[in-house]
Chains A and B, each alone.
Chain A
Amino acid sequence: MNGLISIIVFIPILASIIILALLRNDKLIRRFSFSIVSIELILTIFAFSLYDKAKGGIQLVDFIEGWIPIKGFNANYLVGIDGLSAPLVLLSGILGAAAVWGSWRIKNRVKEYFALLLFLQGVVIGVFVSLDLLLFFIFWEAELIPMYFLISIWGSGRAHYSAAKFVIFTLFAGALLIIGILAIYLSQGINSFTMVSIPELNLQGIPELMAGANLLIPVSIIFWLFFISFAIKLPLWPLHSWLPDAHTDAPTAVSVMLAGILLKMGGYGIFRISLGFFKNSSFNFDIAAPILVILGAISVIYGAILTIRQTDLKRLIAFSSVSHMGYVIIGFSSLISVVSINDTLALNGAALQLFTHGTITGLAFLLVGLVYDRTHTRYIPDLGGLTSKMPIIAVFFLIAGFGSLGLPGLSGFVAELMIFLGTFQVGNIFAIATVIGVFGVVLAAGYTLWMIQRSFFGNKPSKESPVSKDFETLSDMHILDVLPVLVLTIPIFVVGIYPRLLTDIIEIGIREMFLL
Chain B
Amino acid sequence: MSFQDFLIISPEIVISFTAISVFLLDLFINNKKFLVNVSIAGLLFSFILTLGLSNGWLIESPGVYAFFSSIKLDEFSLFFKVLIILSGVAVIGSSGEYISSNIESKGEFLGLLLLSITGMLLLVSSVELITVWVSLELTAIPLVALVALGKNDTSLEASLKFLILSAVSSVVILYGLVFLYGYSGSTYFNDIFSYISSTTSSPEDLIVLNYGLLIGIILLVLGISFKLAAFPFQMWVPDVYQGAPTPITAYLSVVSKAAGFAVLLRIIYSVLGGNDFSVILSNLFSIIAVFSMTIGNVMALRQNDIKRLLAYSTIAHAGYLLIGVASLNISGIGENLYSGPQGVLYYLAGYAFTNLTAFLLIIGVSKSIGTFELSGFAGLRKKSPLTSFVLAVSVISLLGIPPTVGFMSKIFIFSAAVNTNLTWLAIVGVINSVISAYYYLRILKIVFVDPENNQSEIKVSKSISLITLIGMIGILLLGLFPSLILEIAEIAVMSIVNI
Q: Do chains A and B touch in the complex (CB under 8 A)?
A: yes
Tell me whether A179 and B414 are in contact (CB under 8 A). Answer: yes
Taking A183-B423, A217-B423 as contacts, is the C-beta distance between A71 and B402 under 8 angstroms? no
Our pick among B402, B448, B482 for the contact of A68 (Cβ within 8 Å) is: B482
- A27 vs chain B, min Cβ distance (A): 19
Within A142-174, which residues are at the interface with B (CB < 8 Å)? 142, 144-145, 148-149, 152-153, 159-160, 163-164, 167-168, 171-172, 174
In whole angstroms, how far apart are the Cα atoms of A23 and B434 in the complex?
A: 35
Contact residues in A for B330 (Cβ distance below 8 Å) = none
Within B372-401, which residues are at the interface with A (CB < 8 Å)? 389, 396, 401
B370 at the interface (CB under 8 A from A): no
> Which stretch of B151-159, B436-444, B456-464 is in the interface?
B436-444
A282 at the interface (CB under 8 A from B): no
> Which stretch of B203-211, B246-254, B301-309, B333-341 is in the interface?
B333-341
Our pick among A179, A185, A216 for the contact of B421 (Cβ within 8 Å) is: A216
Tell me whether B402 and A141 are in contact (CB under 8 A). Answer: yes
A73 at the interface (CB under 8 A from B): yes
Tell me whether A145 and B407 are in contact (CB under 8 A). Answer: no
Tell me whether A69 and B490 are in contact (CB under 8 A). Answer: no
A199 at the interface (CB under 8 A from B): no
In whole angstroms, how far apart are the Cα atoms of A72 and B483 in the complex?
A: 12
Tell me whether B486 and A182 are in contact (CB under 8 A). Answer: no
Tell me whether A71 and B414 are in contact (CB under 8 A). Answer: no
Our pick among B401, B411, B423 for the contact of A145 (Cβ within 8 Å) is: B401
Q: In the complex, how many residues of chain A place their beta carbon closer than 8 angstroms to a beta carbon of chain B?
A: 39
Tell me whether B431 and A175 are in contact (CB under 8 A). Answer: yes
In whole angstroms, how far apart are the Cα atoms of A168 and B301 in the complex?
A: 14
B445 at the interface (CB under 8 A from A): yes
Within B447-499, which residues are at the interface with A (CB < 8 Å)? 448-449, 482-483, 486-487, 490
Taking A71-B490, A72-B335, A149-B448 as contacts, is the C-beta distance between A178 and B430 under 8 angstroms? yes
Interface residues on B, range: 35 or more
Contact with B along A9-46 (1 / 0, CB 8 A): 00000000000100000000000000000000000000
B226 at the interface (CB under 8 A from A): no
- A494 vs chain B, min Cβ distance (A): 36
In whole angstroms, how far apart are the Cα atoms of A149 and B388 in the complex?
A: 13
Tell me whether B483 and A69 are in contact (CB under 8 A). Answer: yes
Contact residues in B for A216 (Cβ distance below 8 Å) = 418-419, 421, 423
Tell me whether B449 and A152 are in contact (CB under 8 A). Answer: yes
Our pick among A134, A138, A148 for the contact of B403 (Cβ within 8 Å) is: A138
Contact with A along B326-356 (1 / 0, CB 8 A): 0000000111110100100000000000000
Our pick among B334, B423, B434, B445 for the contact of A152 (Cβ within 8 Å) is: B445
In whole angstroms, how far apart are the Cα atoms of A185 and B415 in the complex?
A: 9
B184 at the interface (CB under 8 A from A): no
Tell me whether A182 and B426 are in contact (CB under 8 A). Answer: yes
Within A60-102, which residues are at the interface with B (CB < 8 Å)? 68-73
B125 at the interface (CB under 8 A from A): no
Tell me whether A73 and B412 are in contact (CB under 8 A). Answer: yes
In whole angstroms, how far apart are the Cα atoms of A168 and B418 in the complex?
A: 23
Taking A168-B437, A179-B427 as contacts, is the C-beta distance between A142 and B401 under 8 angstroms? yes
In whole angstroms, how far apart are the Cα atoms of A148 and B444 in the complex?
A: 10
B225 at the interface (CB under 8 A from A): no
Tell me whether B431 and A144 are in contact (CB under 8 A). Answer: no
Tell me whether B438 and A168 are in contact (CB under 8 A). Answer: yes
Contact residues in B for A474 (Cβ distance below 8 Å) = none
- A156 vs chain B, min Cβ distance (A): 13
B256 at the interface (CB under 8 A from A): no
In whole angstroms, how far apart are the Cα atoms of A20 and B390 in the complex?
A: 13
Taking A138-B407, A178-B414, A216-B421 as contacts, is the C-beta distance between A167 and B437 under 8 angstroms? yes
Contact with B along A51-62 (1 / 0, CB 8 A): 000000000000
A336 at the interface (CB under 8 A from B): no
Taking A141-B401, A167-B437, A182-B415 as contacts, is the C-beta distance between A71 and B430 under 8 angstroms? no
Residues of B in contact with A (beta carbons under 8 Å apart): 333-337, 339, 342, 389, 396, 401-403, 407, 411-412, 414-415, 418-419, 421, 423, 426-427, 430-431, 433-434, 437-438, 441, 444-445, 448-449, 482-483, 486-487, 490
A sample of 18 cross-chain residue pairs with beta-carbon separation below 8 angstroms, ordered by A number, consists of A70-B482, A70-B490, A71-B336, A71-B490, A138-B402, A138-B403, A141-B401, A142-B402, A142-B403, A148-B444, A149-B448, A171-B433, A171-B434, A172-B434, A175-B431, A179-B423, A182-B426, A217-B423
Given contacts A153-B449, A174-B430, 20 further A-B contacts (CB under 8 A): A68-B482, A69-B483, A71-B336, A72-B334, A72-B335, A138-B402, A139-B402, A141-B401, A144-B401, A145-B401, A153-B448, A164-B445, A167-B441, A182-B414, A182-B418, A183-B418, A186-B336, A186-B419, A191-B334, A216-B423
Top 10 closest pairs, chain A to chain B, by CB:
A72-B336, A175-B430, A182-B418, A138-B402, A72-B335, A70-B486, A142-B402, A171-B434, A186-B419, A71-B335
